[in-house]
């Protein structure tokens, strides 16, 4: 198991989940952490990733880096969503294995489940029927990632854990209108519509200056700012949102997600998940240079027929609670203090009608959520405002 001196590489440590995991590990006394920004290390670059692992040789890896976005981004950048994520996963997981990493935690998404999966979705709903079309490429990439973890464990006796979080929100969330997720997008739209109505152009320019929209920033004219905001359904005291508002969604505070991830990283092994104490016995010899000799192995897990079929070893991470997009919007409207009109454009796609996950496996492994949605929305809006000061 990992101790306080173990070197832990957090891939994506500036992102929503990665930063929360980093802070959670720090709070628990794990100070030997390694992180690289995208500028410092492009995880889609196989040669660069190998060089990083050669240099740092971490004991554990948290793979929280990904190419992500909402419905609009998934629709526009389908090739990017599958290719970028596959490259990241293949590079990091293969180098983790090649460098003898003791523990790896892979973060996926509940969009891996079929569009019409029985609700709440259990882990064994995976690959039972077609996916939601609007995020199919991202889902396929994440399914491949969890299968990589599962397969490495079964073939090589590694200890790689795959977690599938529900919709996440929290500090360091993405509020850029062009590719943000539903909650931060609605918060920003409602807030800007309120500011336009209030005539608070100082605050509007701070907002646009911090997060430009299609290249339009604080230096542009009032007319140019209003024109670009209108493209995203933001008007004077009015907001237009995509879809009908009827889809049901589950949301998890990112710091809760981080706590769940660290709990699993430190306390749960692959053998705990599949219920077999010692599912394989693998030994790797090393050459004089310290490189793993893959040809020297015994008892590959995947070659033990007595274990039967081992699949769906990933873990759902969420609250097990849901609300409609309309209900979420009403909660945001009340939190922001918006008194204008909210209109839903039913000509635009809704995405998956319902995405509630079964979290009984997670609970059985010793973790439950703490932050409820009402407190979470307030905390996220306060964090967003703090970035504009």
Looking at per-residue pLDDT, the higher value among 293 and 122 belongs to 122
Q: What is the pLDDT of residues 60-105, one digit of tens each?
A: 999 999 877 666 777 777 898 899 999 999 999 999 999 999 999 9
Element housing 145 (H / E): helix 136-156
Query: What average pLDDT does this structure show over 94-117?
Result: 95
State residue 88's pLDDT score: 97
Indicate whether 285 pLDDT > 70.
no
Indicate whether 308 pLDDT > 90.
no
State residue 276's pLDDT score: 64
State residue 295's pLDDT score: 40
Question: Are 335 and 278 within 8 A, CB to CB?
Answer: no
State residue 304's pLDDT score: 55
Burial of 285 (0-12, 13-18, 19+ CB in 10 A): exposed
Angle between helices 373-386 and 182-198 (to 10 degrees): 60
User: Rounded CA gap, 47 and 94, in Å?
Assistant: 12
Q: What is the pLDDT of residues 160-172, one digit of tens each?
A: 999 999 999 998 8
Q: What is the pLDDT of residues 221-268, one digit of tens each?
A: 999 999 999 999 999 999 999 999 999 999 999 999 999 999 999 999
Going by pLDDT thresholds of 50, 70 and 90, the confidence category of residue 277 is: low
User: Rounded CA gap, 198 and 337, in Å?
Assistant: 12
Q: What is the mean pLDDT of the chain?
A: 90
Q: By percentage, how much of the chain surpasses pLDDT 70?
A: 90
Q: What is the pLDDT of residues 321-360, one digit of tens each?
A: 999 999 999 999 999 999 999 999 999 988 778 889 999 9
Indicate whether 283 pLDDT > 60.
no
State residue 76's pLDDT score: 72
Omega of the bond leading into 120 within 30 degrees of 0 (cis): yes
State residue 103's pLDDT score: 98
Q: Where are the alpha helices (DSSP H) in 175-253?
A: 182-198, 201-210, 222-230
pTM of the model as a whole: 0.84
Please name the residues in contact with 64: beta carbons below 8 A apart, sequence gap of 6 or more.
10, 11, 12, 13, 15, 17, 18, 21, 107
State residue 281's pLDDT score: 42
Question: Are 325 and 275 within 8 A, CB to CB?
Answer: no
Query: What average pLDDT does this structure show over 212-221?
Result: 96
Going by pLDDT thresholds of 50, 70 and 90, the confidence category of residue 178 is: confident
CA dihedral over 189, 137, 41, 57, signed as positive or negative: positive
Q: What is the pLDDT of residues 6-32, one digit of tens each?
A: 999 999 999 889 999 999 999 999 999
Going by pLDDT thresholds of 50, 70 and 90, the confidence category of residue 282 is: very low
State residue 297's pLDDT score: 39
Going by pLDDT thresholds of 50, 70 and 90, the confidence category of residue 121 is: very high
Direct distance between the N- and C-terminal alpha carbons of the chain, in angstroms, rounded to an integer: 43
Going by pLDDT thresholds of 50, 70 and 90, the confidence category of residue 54 is: very high
Q: Residues with catalytic annotation?
A: 138
Query: What average pLDDT does this structure show over 294-307?
Result: 48
Q: Which of 247, 246, 244 is nearest to 132 (CA)?
A: 247
Per-residue DSSP letter, 119: S
Degrees, nearest 5: CA angle 368-370-371: 135
- Distances, alpha carbon 248 to alpha carbons 27, 175, 287, 351, 355, in Å: 34, 21, 54, 10, 6
**248 three-state secondary structure:** strand
State residue 343's pLDDT score: 98
């Amino acid at each position: 198991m990992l101790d306080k001196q173990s070197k832990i590489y957090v891939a994506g440590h500036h992102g929503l989940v990665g930063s929360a995991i980093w802070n959670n590990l720090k709070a628990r006394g794990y100070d030997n952490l390694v992180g690289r920004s995208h500028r410092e290390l492009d995880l889609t670059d196989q040669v660069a990733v190998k060089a990083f692992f050669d240099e740092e040789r971490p004991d554990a890896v948290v793979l929280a880096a990904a190419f992500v976005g909402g419905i609009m981004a998934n629709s526009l950048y389908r090739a990017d969503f599958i290719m970028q994520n596959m490259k990241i996963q293949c590079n990091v997981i293969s180098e983790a294995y090649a460098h003898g990493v003791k523990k790896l935690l892979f973060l996926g998404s509940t969009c891996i489940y079929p569009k019409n999966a029985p609700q709440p979705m259990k882990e064994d709903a995976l690959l039972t029927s077609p996916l939601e079309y609007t995020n199919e490429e991202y889902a396929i990439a994440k399914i491949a990632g969890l299968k990589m973890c599962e397969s490495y464990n079964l073939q090589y006796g590694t200890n790689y854990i795959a977690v599938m979080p529900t919709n996440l929100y929290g500090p360091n969330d993405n509020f850029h209108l062009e590719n943000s997720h539903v909650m931060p997008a609605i918060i920003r739209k409602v807030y800007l519509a309120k500011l336009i109505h209030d005539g608070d152009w100082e605050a509007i320019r701070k907002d646009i200056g911090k997060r430009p929209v299609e290249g339009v920033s604080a230096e542009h004219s009032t007319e140019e700012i209003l024109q670009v905001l209108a493209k995203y359904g933001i008007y004077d005291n009015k907001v237009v949102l995509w879809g009908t508002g009827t889809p049901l969604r589950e949301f998890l505070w990112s710091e809760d997600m981080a706590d769940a991830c660290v709990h699993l990283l430190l306390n749960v092994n692959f053998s705990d998940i599949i219920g077999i104490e010692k599912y394989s016995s693998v030994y790797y010899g090393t050459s004089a240079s310290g490189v793993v000799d893959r040809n020297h192995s015994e008892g590959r897990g995947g070659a033990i027929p007595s274990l039967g079929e081992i699949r769906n070893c990933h873990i759902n991470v969420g609250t097990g609670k849901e609300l409609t997009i309309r209900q979420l919007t009403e909660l945001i409207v009340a939190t922001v203090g918006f008194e204008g009109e909210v209109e839903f454009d039913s000509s635009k796609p809704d995405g998956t009608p319902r995405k509630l996950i079964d979290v009984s496996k997670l609970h059985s492994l010793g973790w439950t959520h703490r932050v409820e949605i009402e407190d979470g929305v307030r905390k996220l809006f306060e964090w967003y405002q703090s970035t504009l000061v």
